[in-house]
Amino acid sequence: MNYLRTAILLAGLTALFMTVGYLIGGGAGVVIAFVIAAGTNLFSYWNADRLVLSMHGAQEVDERSAPELVAIVRELAQRAGLPAPRVYLMDSPQPNAFATGRNPQHAAVCATTGLLNTLNREEIAGVIGHELSHVRNHDTLTMTITANDCRRYFHARAVRHVLWRLWREAR
């Protein structure tokens, strides 16, 4: 069901992007908008997890650097019948965690240092279990695509702003 929802979301947002392309550039604008939407959607599908993790400065950890966190993630993934996701740690005092990736085979779970310093093992396991439920239900794909579309929207606004400024200065 989440794959269908993601496909509908992608189709709707691509259509919206193409409509804006039509309003800006007519038929050529539709084609350009479609190429941009298709390219960013494909790029997002294959690379969004890496983009999100690098955007937050997350570092991959293993049994040597974060043994308790890695053990919790692997134990809970095994109980849920999931492949063990990659585990990341983000240096932030705010207690938080998130999951990303296009499917369970390419998933990653990231926790902040604030989460590890604030909660006990049982509470951390509850948070990680919640994140793994997103992986199991394929919610991470929908969240990843949505984040990509938001990024595309804000980039389009920035480009529009720059072009508007250049046009005004040229007059």
- For residue 23, which amino acid is it? L
Of the pLDDT bands very low, low, confident and very high (cuts 50, 70, 90), residue 84 is very high
Cα 24 from Cα 57, distance rounded (Å): 36
Q: For residue range 3-32, what is the model confidence (pLDDT) as tens digits? A: 787 778 778 888 888 898 888 888 998 999
Q: What is the pTM of this model?
A: 0.76
The DSSP output letter for 97 is E
Confidence of residue 74 (pLDDT cuts 50, 70, 90): very high
Q: Which residues pair with 59 in a beta bridge?
A: 89
Tokens of 141: 């794909």
Between 129 and 8, the more confident residue is 129
Instruction: Name the more confident of 160 and 104.
Output: 104
27 versus 166: the higher-pLDDT residue is 27
E strand intervals along 7-165: 59-60, 86-90, 97-100, 108-112
Give me the pLDDT at residue 168, please.
Answer: 80
Residue 146: how many CB atoms within 10 A of its CB? 15
DSSP codes of every residue in the chain? -HHHHHHHHHHHHHHHHHHHHHHHHHHHHHHHHHHHHHHHHHHHHHHHHHHHHHHTT-EE--TTTSHHHHHHHHHHHHHHT-PPPEEEEE--SS--EEEE-SSGGG-EEEEEHHHHHHS-HHHHHHHHHHHHHHHHTTHHHHHHHHHHHHHHHHHHHHHHHHHHHHHHHH-
Annotated active-site residue 131? The verdict is yes
Q: What are the structural domains, with CATH classification, of the chain?
A: 2-170 (3.30.2010.10)
Q: Single out the catalytic residue among 68, 122, 131, 169.
A: 131
Could you tell me what percent of the chain has a pLDDT over 90? 46
